[in-house]
Structure 1
Amino acid sequence: MKWMGRFLLSLAMCGALSGFAQASLPNVIVILADDLGYADVGFHEVVADGVHTPNLDRLAESGVVFRNAYAASPVCSNSRLAFSTGRYPQRWGAYFYGQGGLPTTEQTIAEMMREAGYRTMKIGKNHLNRGAKEDPMKHGFDHWLGFTNHSWDFNLLSEKDVEAYEKKEAGSIAKAKMAPIGPLTRDNGEPASFENTNTTEVFGRESVSFIKTESEKPFYLQLEFNAVHTPLTRAPNEQLRKKYGIPDHPFDRDAKVWPYPYWDPVAQPEYNEWYDQTCHLGIPDPYGRKIYLAHLELMDSVVGQVMDTLKEEGLDEKTLVFFSSDNGGSDQSYANNGPVNAYKYCLMDGGIKVPMVVRWPRKFKAKTIDAVVTHRDIFASLSEITGVAPRKPLDGESLIPLIKGDVISLHDEEAMFWDSGKKRQNWVVREGDWKLVYREESYDYQAYELDENGLVKSALRTVPLATGLQLYNMDADPGELNNLSTSHPERVEEMKALYEKWRVQMADPVRGKKATIIQVKL
């Protein structure tokens, strides 16, 4: 089998590279944004109006920019599972939200890095659909600070905020499970309460502190922001609120009523109704795009703080920095995917095509690469750099030969697959420039539009997603506008057969919270 050949080759490469790797191991920082729009970074060819990302642009100017980078899933949890393991999460039944979790049988990047002699830390979001190995302290991290939910309130991070909710109505915090309120979690479950700040700033300070920690060991830092994910109900701080002209929504813990956009468990007892209004475009926020841009700018500034700290500590040249987003941009958070088709949740490119940069000044020259790559390739790349072989066959390839110019493509000789399972009845085969899409049922999603002042219009635009088999040539038609399935029936059948062969190698879907023992297919 082809993957077994790759596995044996990787073992040989790691053995051959181990001397080189041990002599010059880089520090490694992985940075993931959350639901970032493809046109919402300044280093892309098409940049949305109002985007201000000078620090990400600085990272890209001195790094390797991948123009055709893909997440493994159109939703965060499954994408993060693939990134963390370098493997298709469908192998253990993780197709969509709530499925698969992280089995104890799967090795993570952090475990590999610790085996290579790194000190490790995870900061930020850790949404992996539960499972037996959900706890970051079981992933190979020495320390962590963050949350395990799919989102978190950006500003209400204090135990006093929890007390205010419980005082107003006992049990209200338990209802706020889609966008929880209150302290974050540190290490082995210790609550970490913060006042007068936001998650982005907290994650930045923790990252800087970790980088500055004195140690003879190199470090591995996995920094996963919840920006720019919902709930984006207000500006992250006063400075950015004023810059973008966003209305002030102060939170008074003692107020009799907390007005919208805050959830008040007495005035609005149906929490899910509030969540739909604020996070699913139930009530379009005129300032939604501006709030998104403010959070994006703050995240960018924190990335700048991390980069500046590397220079101040004399670590810039010997630190590999990876930046990407967990999946495509979401209209629900007012992201902008530019010319890329559709949005998060679906398998058109808007759901899975992501910004991606790798920077290592000591070894990599700045360049732009058009070859198709995926998040799964990061595990294989770090395996080659450290000389530590993976414990299982990977579904990714090392980016190093591509970056060095030894090859011009990584995945043209083998098809790649996406599958959202029975919940969405949506799967994809990518083979070279050809992309075959299947969707069982039609779906109309709601997209926001802006007026001449950059405010979100009250009326949403309906965008239909087609059903059935669709074939696109992504080189000639990157916007997926021209379905060629009827003119290339033989290619459709060939690619469909590839999908069916791949699918039988994967496990059946399984709920993450029920998956204590998971049958994993190699």
Structure 2
Amino acid sequence: MQATNRPNIILVFIDDMGWGDFSCFGNQDASTPHIDRLAKEGISFEQFYVNSPICSPSRVAISTGQYPQRWRISSYLGHRAQNKKRGMAQWLDPKAPMLARFLQNSGYATGHFGKWHMGGQRDVNDAPAISEYGFDQALTNFEGMGPKLLPLTLKPGQDKSKPGRLWHHAERLGKGYQWMQRSEITGGFVDAALSFIKQAKQDETPFYLNLWPDDVHSPFWPSVDQWGDGEKRTLYLAVLEEMDRQLGRLFQHVQNDPALSKNTIILACSDNGPDPGLGSPGPFRGYKTQLFEGGIRSSLVAWAPKLMKKDALGTINQDSIFSAIDLVPTLLNICNISPPDKITFDGESLPSVLLGQSKKSKNKMMFFRRPPDRDSFYGVKDLPDLAVRNGRWKLLCEYDGSSPLLYDLLTDREETKNLAKQKTDMVTELTQSVIAWHKSMPADNGPALVPKANQ
């Protein structure tokens, strides 16, 4: 079912947060009451995936509805020489099919507030402005071109008049920057988003906005009264809770406004899994950069109580398997907007799932390729290069299909029982499919960057 009026859309894309870090997804060490309220009034999805276990390609996928490898972005965008060594583009091509541009062309006000990381970072200072991707307004961090918020740092006992500075070289990445305490930057993005929303409402214009905080990415700089014992896990949890509080102002503004609350969709999830020992991957194996579930499965909370099926509100959808690339065609469908005929999404339109009218899953297989520079990481040598999810089955393997790992995620979501030797026909089918997909995408330098010890 499509919404009667074109809904407003708020996409909250958290940085490096684990599947189990929202308290509504089981975190008992920290509380996220504002996210929890969204879940209580909306729907939580347990089998939602992002399309890469690392930052930049994950952001490309959720912005375009296409696999990020199509745009030669398969790891985080770094220094110019790093990107070249990995066989990657320096930034996302502005010709990519951006959700924001489709909405902008259909009369939406569009804004991006927060981390960008799809071009313009480190020494890459000639990337396109965020406005070239379909955004009317933008405020970013040190990994984007244009106006930005840059972080001041303060430890307990430190002279408040002499704070530290992070990423000071980012002052050259476009005009307009403001220094503020790192612990308050999510709130700075929220302030900009609230101003944007109020203007759109005054103009009687539907809006789409990205609220993409730096949180909960390291380094961790909570407010000085939240440092506790100063251990990294303590700091991580403090940042998580402060992020929730700051995002809460945005959520409450929408929830308390009758016009906004009846016609706004809020989506909140993470761009990839957590670092070990910091965020929680929940019951899953693996972490950020890895193709195991902990690296690519993301806790998705969707809030649109006036648009969703009533008896779905407050429920947990444990069945629907879909991913970030499916959100773009799904949201366009809900907004009654058709993309140009020449655009083909890798994702599928699943409005009935997002609005709680169905628990079906996507029809297509989901494919994954590891970041080219992450064959060995976090102490794990020779990580799988490719992965595919098809219904209950997931296969991981090397580029050539060797060393297959086959898991039945219906009975073994922890990926502990390799069934490759018992299910040889399934291994053959999935291996052929994932290799064919891999070869259909532009190549990166993953094979050349395999450590010699793993060859």
TM-score of the superposed pair, with normalisation by structure 2: 0.81
Q: Could you say what secondary structure the match of 1:123 adopts?
A: strand
Could you say which structure has the larger radius of gyration?
A: 1
Q: Does 1:121 find its partner at 2:100?
A: no
Shift in alpha-carbon separation, 1:468–1:153, aligned structure 2, 3 A:
farther
* 1:475-502 residue CA offsets vs partner (Å, 9 max, x unmatched): 1100000011111112111111101221
Work out whether residues 92 and 508 of structure 1, in 8 Å CA contact, stay in contact via their aligned partners in 2. Answer: no
| C-alpha separation in 1, matches of 2:280 and 2:320 | 23
Q: Match for residue 299 of structure 2?
A: 355
Matched, 1:399 2:350: yes
CA contact (8 A) 1:152 1:180 kept: no
Question: How many residue pairs end up in the alignment?
Answer: 402
C-alpha displacement of 1:195? 5.8
Q: Pairwise mapping of residues 40-439 of structure 1 onto structure 2 (< 5 A)? A: 40-44=21-25, 47-98=26-77, 99-100=88-89, 101-130=91-120, 134-149=128-143, 154-156=151-153, 180-181=167-168, 189-194=175-180, 198-213=184-199, 214-232=202-220, 234=221, 236-241=222-227, 245-247=228-230, 287-314=231-258, 315-331=260-276, 334-365=278-309, 366=313, 367-369=315-317, 370-391=319-340, 392-403=343-354, 407-411=358-362, 413-420=363-370, 422-424=372-374, 426-439=385-398
Shift of 1:398: 2.1
Taking the aligned partners of 2:149 and 2:354, their CA distance within structure 1 comes to 36
Contact (CA 8 Å) 1:78, 1:94: kept in 2 or not?
A: yes
Aligned equivalent of 2:8, options 11, 14, 27:
27
Q: 1:298-340 CA distances to partner (integer Å, 9 max, x unpaired)?
A: 11112211111113433112111011100111126x1111211
- 1:494 to 2:453 alignment: no
C-alpha distance in structure 2 between counterparts of 1:423 and 1:183, whole Å: 24
Counterpart CA distance in 2 for 1:185 and 1:237 is 27
Cα RMSD of the aligned pairs, angstroms, is 3.0
**Contact 2:12 2:267 survives alignment (8 Å):** yes
Seen in structure 2, the aligned counterparts of structure 1 residues 106 and 219 have a Cα distance that, compared at 3 Å, is same
CA distance in 1, matches of 2:302, 2:256: 20
Cα 1:197–1:183 shift into 2, 3 Å: farther
* 1:431 maps to amino acid: N
Determine helix, strand or coil for the equivalent of 1:122.
strand
Rounded to whole Å, the distance in 2 between the matches of 1:59 and 1:490 is 43
Query: Does the CA-based 8 Å contact 1:125-1:226 persist in structure 2?
Result: yes
Q: Do the aligned partners of residues 198 and 183 (structure 1) sit closer, same or farther apart at CA in structure 2, a change above 3 Å counting? A: farther
Please list every run of 5 or more consecutive structure 1 residues that lacks an aligned counterpart in the other structure: 1-16, 166-172, 174-178, 248-286, 442-466, 512-522
Specify the SS of the correspondent of 2:261.
coil
Relative to the length of structure 1, the TM-score reads 0.71
The superposition leaves residues 259-290 of structure 1 with CA deviations (integer Å, 9 ceiling, x where unpaired) of: xxxxxxxxxxxxxxxxxxxxxxxxxxxx1111
Write the distance in 2 (CA, Å) between the matches of 1:221 and 1:83: 13
- DSSP-derived class of the 1:324 partner: strand
Relative to structure 1, the CA distance from residue 336 to residue 181 in structure 2 (aligned partners, 3 Å threshold; closer, same or farther) is farther
Which amino acid letter does the alignment assign opposite residue 366 of structure 2?
A: M
- The residue type equivalent to 2:420 in the other structure is S
Moved more, 418-427 or 385-394: 418-427
Q: Does structure 2 retain, via aligned residues, the 8 Å contact 1:152–1:226?
A: no
